[in-house]
Amino acid sequence: DAGVTQSPTHLIKTRGQHVTLRCSPISGHKSVSWYQQVLGQGPQFIFQYYEKEERGRGNFPDRFSARQFPNYSSELNVNALLLGDSALYLCASSWTGVSYNEQFFGPGTRLTVL
């Protein structure tokens, strides 16, 4: 079975630009969560979507937005990129969006902002 897939693998942008990251969950999983992982830190929660609805949002500015499509894939958008947005962006999928979730991570997208 295919795991969580993310694209692109690596991305280089300049300050002020916009970026879109994509994620496809494990087949049958209906929930997708997005995390930002800065080098040396644990993943920080950005969003969770379940059945195309936002179920949770972390402490990130409005420059960060996301959506989930009918096929449960998801996009994370970041506007007006800052140097501090450079990080590994992880997508995780789980079967449901309710209590007790086993989340499985994709390989991540490495974003570098110059």
Interface residue list for another protein (CB under 8 A): 33, 35, 40-45, 48, 50, 55-56, 58, 88, 90, 92, 97-108
Amino acid at site 114: L
Nearest approach in angstroms of CB 113 to another protein is 19
92: number of CA atoms within 13 Å, CB side? Answer: 20
Nearer to another protein, 16 or 41 (CB): 41
Write out 30-54 in H/E/C secondary structure: CEEEEEEECCCCCCEEEEEEECCEE
Nearer to another protein, 25 or 106 (CB): 106
Nearer to another protein, 17 or 51 (CB): 51
Nearest approach in angstroms of CB 19 to another protein is 19
Nearest approach in angstroms of CB 105 to another protein is 4
CB 109 within 8 A of CB 31: no
Nearest approach in angstroms of CB 16 to another protein is 28
Kindly report each contact of residues 62-67 with a partner whose C-beta sits within 8 Å and lies 24 or more positions away, as own/partner.
Answer: 66/34
What φ, ψ does residue 9 adopt, rounded to 5°? -75, -45
Nearer to another protein, 71 or 99 (CB): 99
